[in-house]
Amino acid sequence: GQNIDQPTEMTATEGAIVQINCTYQTSGFNGLFWYQQHAGEAPTFLSYNVLDGLEEKGRFSSFLSRSKGYSYLLLKELQMKDSASYLCAVLDSNYQLIWGAGTKLIIKP
Amino acid sequence: GAVVSQHPSRVICKSGTSVKIECRSLDFQATTMFWYRQFPKQSLMLMATSNEGSKATYEQGVEKDKFLINHASLTLSTLTVTSAHPEDSSFYICSARAETSGDYNEQFFGPGTRLTVL
């Protein structure tokens, strides 16, 4: 079966750095997405990785290792507004998005 | 960036009534749209994939006669929840895939529709 695992909840301090991990087992791989979702809102796109390595975009970076079936989202200089759920999703061989359950990130002052 | 709108944003209805939710791609053509449902504190659950001009493909366990999907044009897909019941109360989100988005198939999400069935 297809499976995506990510921690249920994480807590971090404002101004700090946090890394959210995601491991996946899917039928085929056509890329991995990270989305941010605030409560009661739709997901918003953060990043896309299809090749191994690190993609940096401002305070957010995303890493992929296809051989390990592993990705992480790195958030730097955390702000209170970063409190949200972070969803990892993999595009499988049928170009269908397989979603993780999301990681709720709580930022404390 | 590509914009997807959804209407209505919130709807409250009585049990047994039908509710239609519209999903529009505003500045691009979307041959494929997706309908998701999300229960509180849970991840997105794909309900169906909607292709313009053809019948939608439903995920296992999703009743196609209850959740009617129509994708009549390249910019509009509708989801009708027929004979809604309290257990259908959920957050419904559509997304559209921009075929010309470059070298990957990014999905752009609508803002979601909060359905409450009394």
pLDDT in tens, B35-75: 999 988 788 899 999 988 888 999 999 999 999 999 888 89
Torsional class of B74: left (φ above 0), alpha (ψ -120 to 50), beta (otherwise): alpha
pLDDT at B103 over 60: no
Torsional class of A31: left (φ above 0), alpha (ψ -120 to 50), beta (otherwise): left
Contact B34/A97, CB-based, under 8 Å? yes
Question: Please, which residues 10-49 of chain A have a Cβ atom closer than 8 Å to chain B?
Answer: 30-31, 33, 40-45, 48
Residue A48 forms beta bridges with which residues? A33
Tally of CB atoms within 10 A around B26:
12
Chain B residue whose CA is closest to A43: B109
pLDDT at B9 over 70: yes
- For the segment A65-88, the average pLDDT, to the nearest whole number, is 97
Contact A42/B106, CB-based, under 8 Å? no
Chain B interface includes A5 (CB < 8 A): no
